[in-house]
Amino acid sequence: MRHPVRGILALIAGAVSLTAGAWGQDRTAIICARAVAPDGTLSDLGAVVIAGGKVERLAKADEIKEQAGLKIVRHEGAVICPGLIDLCSAIGEFQNNLERAKAVDPSVSAIDAVDPGDPALGRALRAGITAVMITPQPSNVISGVAATVRTWTAGPRVDALRTDGPLVFALGTSVFSTDREPTSRPGALVLLRGALAAARDGKGAARVAQVLAGKLDAIVICEATEDVDGALRTFGEFKLAPHIVHTADAVELAPDLAERGPSRPATIVGPYTFTSSPRTLEGAGALERAGADVAFTGGTPLGEAAGLRVTAALAVRYGMDAAAARRGLTVGAARVAGVEGRVGSLKPGMDADIVVFSGDPLRLESRVIEVYVNGVRVYTAPPPVGQDESGGSYE
């Protein structure tokens, strides 16, 4: 173990899982005041019953009665939330995800670069991020497939939720090079169009062919609005509408996306910081009002892990609907990563990857109290400074 805190976490988890295993059918009820519902609103179904690592049912706090085999954990005034999901992260693969051999390189996989001992995984977990979609660096027109992994690692293994997608495309100056093509936006789009056309004609890479057949999802990381235009135009020629990652001038995309109707792609924005320009920060709200599903990237591991929640909070501060922002942190992100069948929402049958916040996760004074993965408590936050065990407060 490289990090002492992770060692402690592993011990707690090991102990809890042993206990759970011994009792077999044991259930746990986490009772909070409210819950982040799948539609992003704060509902009063604040009690979540977990069995066998899955969410069994949701209930109001006072509906849970003590009974044999039911362990009750109570957090007064807290908000229970699906584990947050950070998109386009480089956690675990930082500085190891830049493969520049070919500008069109769909065969590589981000999962092959992941280091399960990366301390950034633990930092993310303690900030309430239970899963990250890690992507190859967007330095190629086709950079390879992303993977979605849990930030909780059992020993030396990464717990991957998905290893085969989405396929990551990129446009903008980051794909240009001086020693291989492309060197320009038109050149990049020639390569993109060529790769899609070759796959259509049965001569291209298998993964690109899967994208064309609708069997593999795709995201396009776009540096500028003209890259978004180019992506939507080029993919549109092949009747595809991949998810778009664009932050800086996202506000300019809103009118176009509004006109596109239901076929509009989901968009991923971020990271937002307190020094981002207001115009940039208005992007998420503008896209959301245009009808697009908006999810976030928090900039991990370069930024601090709390950056994901800061990004969503700033999006709300600059006009985004709060429920839409909570969706963007949870179920919306799960949809982009293609893992919404397992995590991202508090619904019966979903994996019990859960965070207990002291309040609304969009409020920055809310803090993480506990984190559960597969129904197992893997992190308990120490009481905040100034607040002792007896329940005293800052005042």
Partner 1 sequence: MSNATVRTCGMWVAGFGALVAIAGRADALQTEQPARLVIRVGTLHIGDGRVVQNAVVVIENGKITAAGEGSTVPAGAGLIDLPEGSVTPGLIDACAQIETRDLAVTRRRSPGGPGASEPQRREAGQPSALALFFEGTHAEGSDDEDGCVCSGVAACALANTHENLGPGQICPVCGFPAAPGSPLARGLVSGVAGGWSETEASSEVVPHTRVIDSLSLRSRDFDRLVRSGVTTVFVTPDSAAVIGPQGAIVRTAGPVRDRLISDHGAVEATFGSDAYSVGMGNSPPFGRFVSIRTRRPNTRMGVAWVFRKAFYDAQRWKEGLPVGGADAPPPEALPVLQQIREGKLGLRVQARTQPDILTAIRLCGEFGVGFTLVEGTEAYECLAELKLRAIPVIFGPIYDEADPSPRLYSGETDKSRLSTLRDLIEAGVPTALTAQDLRDEDGLARQVMYAVRAGVPLEKAVQAVTQTPAKMLGIDDQVGTIEAGKRADLVVWTGKAFDATSRLVVVISGGQVVVDARERAAAK
Footprint of partner 1 on this chain (CB under 8 A)?
178-190, 194, 224-226, 229-230, 233, 249, 252, 255-256, 259, 275, 277-280, 282, 285-286, 289, 319
Side-chain-side CA neighbours of residue 353 (13 Å): 28
- Choice between 10 and 224, CB closer to partner 1: 224
- Choice between 113 and 290, CB closer to partner 1: 290
- For residue 10, what is the enclosing H or E element? helix 4-23
- Choice between 177 and 387, CB closer to partner 1: 177
Taking the complex as a whole, the smallest distance from the CB of residue 320 to partner 1 amounts, in Å, to 10
Decide: 318 and 328 in contact? Cβ < 8 Å: no
Nearest C-alpha neighbor of 154 from the set 121, 182, 180? 121
Instruction: 251-256: list long-range contacts, CB under 8 Å, 24+ apart.
Output: 251/279, 251/280, 251/282, 251/283, 251/286, 252/225, 253/225, 253/228, 253/283, 253/286, 253/287, 253/290, 254/286, 254/287, 254/289, 254/290, 255/290, 256/229, 256/232
Contacts of 149 (CB under 8 A, 6+ apart): 92, 111, 114, 131, 132, 134, 158, 159, 160, 161
Contacts of 198 (CB under 8 A, 6+ apart): 204, 205, 208
Taking the complex as a whole, the smallest distance from the CB of residue 95 to partner 1 amounts, in Å, to 24
CA 315 to chain centre: 16
Taking the complex as a whole, the smallest distance from the CB of residue 179 to partner 1 amounts, in Å, to 5
- Choice between 145 and 232, CB closer to partner 1: 232
- Choice between 115 and 256, CB closer to partner 1: 256
Taking the complex as a whole, the smallest distance from the CB of residue 187 to partner 1 amounts, in Å, to 3
Which residue is associated with the tokens 């950034």?
120
Decide: 292 and 327 in contact? Cβ < 8 Å: no
What six digits make up the tokens of 69?
């085999």
Taking the complex as a whole, the smallest distance from the CB of residue 169 to partner 1 amounts, in Å, to 14
Q: How many residues does the chain have?
A: 395
- Choice between 25 and 178, CB closer to partner 1: 178
Taking the complex as a whole, the smallest distance from the CB of residue 225 to partner 1 amounts, in Å, to 6
- Choice between 178 and 393, CB closer to partner 1: 178
Taking the complex as a whole, the smallest distance from the CB of residue 123 to partner 1 amounts, in Å, to 28
Backbone angles phi, psi at 53, to 5 degrees: 80, 0
- Choice between 188 and 337, CB closer to partner 1: 188
Taking the complex as a whole, the smallest distance from the CB of residue 253 to partner 1 amounts, in Å, to 9
How far apart (Å, rounded) are the C-alpha atoms in residues 330 and 322? 13
